[in-house]
Amino acid sequence: MKTDRRSPFADLEPVSEIVCPKCNHANAQNSETCHQCGRHLVIFCAHCGHPNYRGESRCVECRTQLHFPWQHRWKPATARKWIKPVEAALLVVTVLLTAEAVVRVAEFDLPKREPPPPQVYVLKPDGTWHLR
């Protein structure tokens, strides 16, 4: 089933021109991308999906914040603090198991094998060899 792509400008308040927030270039009324820098001029709200002009800070439909600083988008390792105790516990368990395995291997004695008896051949008077 093929659906027609609906223009995001159908839900937006009409404006005479759209100013790009990146390069301040004035674009035509229904431009989806800036003619100078190529940046999208319309973004969609992550909460409700309503289209908004990129220059808006909050969604006109649900008032959700549209742009987040890079510190909120990029989660550093400090955001995973709950993993640190688990990693430490796993490291201790791994070290202990490895140490025990090394001690067991060092104490392991291979079973003693007796050497096979030497094979002695004796020459018979008729000229053949006999295994004793």
What is the tens place of the pLDDT at every residue in 23-72? 888 888 778 888 888 888 888 888 888 888 887 888 888 888 887 766 66
Domain membership of residue 114 (yes or no) is no
Residue 11 lies in a domain: yes
Alpha-carbon distance 115 to 41, whole Å?
87
How many domains does the chain fold into? 2
Q: Quick one: which H or E segment has residue 35?
A: none
Q: Identify whether residues 43 and 90 lie together within a single domain.
A: no
Beta pairing class for 129-131 and 121-123: antiparallel
Identify the domain containing residue 91 by its residue range. 77-104
Same domain, 3 and 56: yes
| Residue 63 shares a structural domain with residue 88 | no
Of 35, 54, 75, which residue is a domain's last?
A: 75
Q: Is the pTM of this model over 0.85?
A: no
Judge whether 127 lies within some domain: no
Q: Do residues 53 and 89 share a domain?
A: no
Residue with tokens 């890079």: 70
